[in-house]
Chains A and B, each alone.
Chain A
Amino acid sequence: QSMLSQPPSASGTPGQSVAISCSGSSSSIGSNTVNWYQKVPGAAPKLLIYSNDQWPSGVPDRFSGSKSGTSASLAISGLQSEDEADYFCAAWDDSLNGWVFGGGTKLTVL
């Protein structure tokens, strides 16, 4: 029932760069900003990027976000083993009048 679409998996080797996409609609990503989160088992989801491309305090600039039309992307450069986690996107949806989320992308660092 995810309203935003993400690839289920992504992978890369240490030092490489990887991008995770998030596709929505005109009422969600097309009209509002996108936020990205990192989820590690047993821990609370951590905000990585807000308002499409802004960094919360403490998040390294290896993580970057962008948005174009009804799609958004999270890029991770200089992959590290600790980046292995689930990543999900979120946006407000004007039709639902509520939040919608991506299904999550499991990133594996090979």
Chain B
Amino acid sequence: EAEVAQSPRYKITEKSQAVAFWCDPISGHATLYWYRQILGQGPELLVQFQDESVVDDSQLPKDRFSAERLKGVDSTLKIQPAELGDSAMYLCASSVPLQRGGSYEQYFGPGTRLTVT
């Protein structure tokens, strides 16, 4: 069964350092998402790609976060410099339209758990 791949699974970094996460969506999924999930909360959308284009990055803290999906396949999310408040699970998802259309079924990867010390 096809899955969304993410790496690393765990990352510990010191504040002010740079950190990067990688995601490989399910083959053929044009839409890719990066979410941040703080413990005890639901996923919060950071950025959404359609192929290589950003369609929503309104919640991405652009002073320190960047995301790219250069060839419309895999994607990288970067944080520089990392802050203590960035400690969270970073989830990548890709999607297909719901059978009915109009919205999407999202397939999530296992996430990268980031701890900033």
Asked if chains A and B come from one complex, the reply is no
Interface residues of B (CB under 8 A from A): none
Interface residues of A (CB under 8 A from B): none
